[in-house]
Structure 1
Amino acid sequence: MANLSDMRPVYVIGVGMHPYQFASDTLYIDMGLTAVRGALEDAGIAFPEVESAYIGCTGIGMAAGRIMFNHLGSTGLACTQVENASASGSSAFQMAVLEVAAGRRDVSLAVGVDKTGDQLRAVQKEKVSRLSDTATIPLVKYALMAEHLKKEKGLSAEDLAMVAAKNHTNASKNPNAQFRKPRTVEQVLASTLVAGTTTSLMCCPRGEGAAAAIVASEDAIRRLGILGGKPIRVTASVLQSETPQVGREIPSVTLAQRVAEMAYDEAGIKATDLDCVELHDAFAIEEILYTETFGLAPKGAGQHFLRDGGSAIGGRCCVNSSGGLIGQGHPLGPTGLGQVHELTRQLRGENGERQQPGARIGMAHMIGLGSISIAHILTKD
């Protein structure tokens, strides 16, 4: 099986976003084009230079991308729509990267854009009976997981609140975030209980928005005159789905670990080489679990890594400097590309108040319904 390291190098040359927001009358075309135009401006190229485009979305409907791109001109670009639940934008990015790495294109665009839509899952259209009214609700799954881990590893409600307070505070400094108000641990704990001891501020909001990234080959970078410090190399991109549960393991966590380890191997790095990580924190418990799963903290010590400031901006490896899904938001289609946007700016040293000092290697990680897990590693050459 070929790795990215076996193919020609691929670089992110431009990123753009439309701020995430609660449901509104804003047209998806307006949001998507804001992100695309931002990425084009960031790269310093014109739309006709883009040879292919992948559009990640879940709630808009058929042919979303082609209709949107009509407003930029009919250039004949190859256009593919991608749906992979919460990982739709991440998957669109992977497809753009692999197309350039394989030599099929020199410049490719990945854009994620979403409105709330009906969000019907395929299984709901197949008359498959539910195991229970709550069996497929992620909130219930992760709330139960939090209660179990409190007993098993000494987690406290304050630990979960610390995750949320950190990410809300990071988001308050992010002009693209859906939530822009700093929160304290006390405020998180005092917010509405939604399941068990999980409160509303420990959960990500749903909304809408857009994010985009343009990737290119070295040949295109030279031809287009892209500035030397701007391109950020994509050194790994790995996607896998769940395998059957064994014993008491949590399949989505085991899957995330497998994907992270495959990404490290593909990029030729270790977990300790990571300077910043944007990870799937739809619920606060996930960040603690994944910091252990990814090897940022020893097993059973995720809460200590958090308490000691290891995941803070300026810590050993900053986690969710964007605010994560909890603070920046989770509009599904764009979410994974919003992570790429954040890491690209981090590795360029352009992240302002949220800058991780000396950042050179970052990982973006998403979980998608099914479950699937996807990870990309970006590196400053």
Structure 2
Amino acid sequence: MVEKVRIAGVGMIPFTKPGTGETYPVMAERAARAALDDAGLSYECVQQACAGYVYGDSTAGQAGLYSLGLSGIPVVNVNNNCATGSSALWLARQAVASGAADCVLAVGFEQMRPGALAGVWDDRPDPLRRFLDRMTELQGFDERAPVAAQLFGGAGVAHTAVHGTDPATFAKIAVKARRHAAANPYAVFRTPVTEAEVLASPRVYGPLTRLQCCPPTCGAAAAVLCSDDFARRHAVASPVVIRAQAMTSDSPGTFDSGDMRRVVGYEMTREAAQQVYEASGYGPEDIDVVELHDCFTVNELLSYEALGLTPEGAGEKFVLDGDNTYGGRVVVNPSGGLLSKGHPLGATGLAQCAELVWQLRGQAEARQVEGAKTALQHNIGLGGACVVTLYEKAAER
């Protein structure tokens, strides 16, 4: 395995509300073309492709990529719930790092319907059944509330029970997300909101109100990965490399701990982050900018602690001290995150990648984190999968 894999190019399209954008093959093609153009490469250079989506039929990846060319390359379709985009990125990185390919395209896309997330199949076992059964044992089941909100809202209740977290702290995270998204032309929700507006929006579950829940979104994003040798031969200028990356799934603590925070992936995140820090030689104190999985405000605060950005139980202080934004210790979700940029499930991980690459290149315009040299990405999917990726700005060649 080679030590580093270079991000040759990234691309994404503006995210939209369901029913207002393009079809998934068009979105996928546009994002992939943008990444190739950014890299200065043609599709003929790509030796493998990984396509991520959650709501779609088999071989939807081919449907999105065939407009780029019928090159005969392997196209692998990926579905790992909300971690799908970064799972495609993980597979692409492995292919390059192992020497199986010199240039791989990862693309993620989603054409979603309005409303809360829901399963498609009702004639077979639900892959989340074990999670839902454990949730019901711990806190009951509310027929009126969306399932995802019950899971993550319950985790917020658990955090509050242990650490006394003020519900207003979660609301402050939503305010920050909108403030950051105001500078992002790719984001769906760019209008600022106040803490009072967030708290006054309809209650969903536990501490969560509607403005603390990510919206269903349509969109696509892509990245082209290559080896250093390929970059030299093709004059790829991008200085961003993946220094370390880890993917984890659930451990016994998810179901045995009696803690809703563990049910929604706290252990997966902590383990993946520890693997990345050990492999990279960096620690959380060395990170300049983070894109993490803020599907709900609660999960952003939990992720501060699971990623080691702050000690367990200190997430609230991290928010109150402003250490999660510009002028603080580390800028978290400069894009606006899932809460405000939007969450097209298959595209989210690659949209996070695009944002961090732009940050490390100094191309993030009004949302630029000054002097950013290291970046951390966190993408989680219940069921479960978690991918943590550490990027660094390499020396100019």
TM bin (shorter chain):
over 0.9
Counterpart among 64, 70, 79 of residue 68 in structure 1: 64
Is the 1:8–1:217 Cα contact (8 Å) retained in structure 2? Answer: no
| Residue 124 of structure 1: how far off its partner (Å) | 6.0
Q: In the TM superposition, what is the alpha-carbon distance from 1:121 to its structure 2 partner?
A: 6.0
Distance 1:94 1:188, change over 3 A: same
Q: 1:178 aligns with which of 184, 188, 209?
A: 188
Separation (CA, whole Å) in 2 of partners of 1:315 and 1:367: 25
Return the match for 1:233 from 212, 218, 241.
241
Are residues 1:278 and 2:291 paired? yes
Question: Which residue is 2:201 aligned to?
Answer: 191
Q: Please tell me whether the aligned partners of residues 8 and 102 of structure 1 are also in contact (alpha carbons under 8 angstroms).
A: no
Q: Give the aligned residue type for 2:362.
A: G
The match for 1:86 among 82, 107, 112 is: 82
CA shift in 2, pair 1:8/1:247, >3 Å: closer
Alignment deviations for residues 2-41 of structure 1 (CA, whole Å, 9 cap, x no partner): xxxx525211010000111111262111111111111111
Match of 1:3 in 2: none
Distance 2:35 2:126 in 1: 42
- Alpha-carbon distance in 2 for matches of 1:286, 1:124: 31
Hey, what's the Cα distance between the residues in 2 that align with 1:78 and 1:231? 27
Alignment match, 1:149: 159
The code of the aligned residue for 1:378 comes to Y
State the match for 1:336 in structure 2. 349
1:243 correspondence with 2:251: yes
Q: Does 1:258 align with 2:271?
A: yes
Residues 365 and 127 (structure 1), Cα distance of their counterparts in 2 relative to 1, 3 Å cut: closer
Q: Which AA in structure 1 matches 2:212? A: M
CA contact (8 A) 1:15 1:39 kept: yes
* 3-state SS in 2 of match to 1:125: coil
Structure 1 residues 124, 324: closer, same or farther in 2, change over 3 A?
farther
Please state how far the C-alpha of 1:247 moved relative to its aligned partner. Answer: 3.4
Tell me the CA shift for residue 61 of structure 1: 1.0
The runs of 5 or more residues in structure 1 that have no matched partner are: 1-5
SS in 1 for 2:151: helix
Which of the numbers 100, 104, 107 marks the counterpart of 1:104? 100
Contact (CA 8 Å) 1:179, 1:327: kept in 2 or not?
A: yes
Corresponding residue number in structure 2 for 1:15: 10
- Mark the runs of 5 or more structure 2 residues left unpaired by the alignment: none
Instruction: Sort the Cα spacing of 1:78 and 1:167 in 2 relative to 1 into closer, same or farther, 3 A.
Output: same
1:361 — aligned with what? 374
Structure 2 distance, partners of 1:65, 1:344, is: 23
Q: Is 1:140 equivalent to 2:150 in the alignment?
A: yes
Matched, 1:125 2:135: no
**Counterpart secondary structure, 2:204:** strand
For residue 49 of structure 2, what is the aligned residue in structure 1? 53
User: 2:10, 2:223 within 8 Å by CA — same for their partners in 1?
Assistant: yes
2:229 & 2:266 partners in 1: Cα distance?
A: 39
Contact kept? 1:242, 1:255, Cα under 8 Å = yes
Moved more, 143-152 or 79-88: 143-152
| Corresponding residue number in structure 2 for 1:218 | 228
Q: Which AA in structure 1 matches 2:298?
A: I
CA offset at residue 197 of structure 1? 3.3
Contact 2:6 2:241 in 1 (8 A): yes
Q: CA RMSD in A?
A: 2.0
Q: Which moved more, 1:6-15 or 1:245-254?
A: 245-254
Paired letter, 2:125: E
CA deviation after TM superposition for structure 1 residue 314, in Å: 3.4
- The correspondence for 1:296, drawn from 279, 292, 309, is 309
Cα distance in 1, alignment partners of residues 126 and 50 from structure 2: 31
User: Size of the alignment, in residue pairs?
Assistant: 374
Deviation at 1:127, TM superposition (A): 7.5
Report the secondary structure of 2:15's partner residue.
strand
Query: Which letter does structure 1 place at the counterpart of 2:9?
Result: G
Task: Name the TM-score, length of structure 2 as normaliser.
Answer: 0.89
Can you list the C-alpha shifts for 1:140-182, whole angstroms capped at 9, x where unaligned? Answer: 1221222232243121121011100001111121111121111
Q: What is the percent sequence identity of the aligned residues?
A: 35
Residues of 1 paired with 2:249 and 2:123: CA distance?
20
Q: In 2, are the aligned partners of 1:58 and 1:119 still within 8 Å (CA)?
A: no
CA distance in 1, matches of 2:354, 2:126: 39
**Structure 1 range deviating more: 132-141 or 356-365:** 132-141
TM-score (norm 1): 0.93
Hey, what's the Cα distance between the residues in 2 that align with 1:55 and 1:197?
35
Q: Is the 8 A contact 1:32 1:112 kept in 2?
A: yes
Per-residue CA deviations over 1:69-104 (Å, capped at 9, x if unaligned) read 221121222211111111111100011111011111
- Contact between 1:314 and 1:356, CA under 8 Å: does it hold in 2? no
Aligned residue type for 1:369: L
Task: State the alpha-carbon separation in 1 of the partners of residues 126 and 85 from structure 2.
Answer: 28
Structure 1 residues 169-178 or 134-143, which shifts more? 134-143
- Point out the more displaced range, 176-185 or 116-125: 116-125
Distance between the aligned counterparts of 2:280 and 2:199, measured in 1? 39
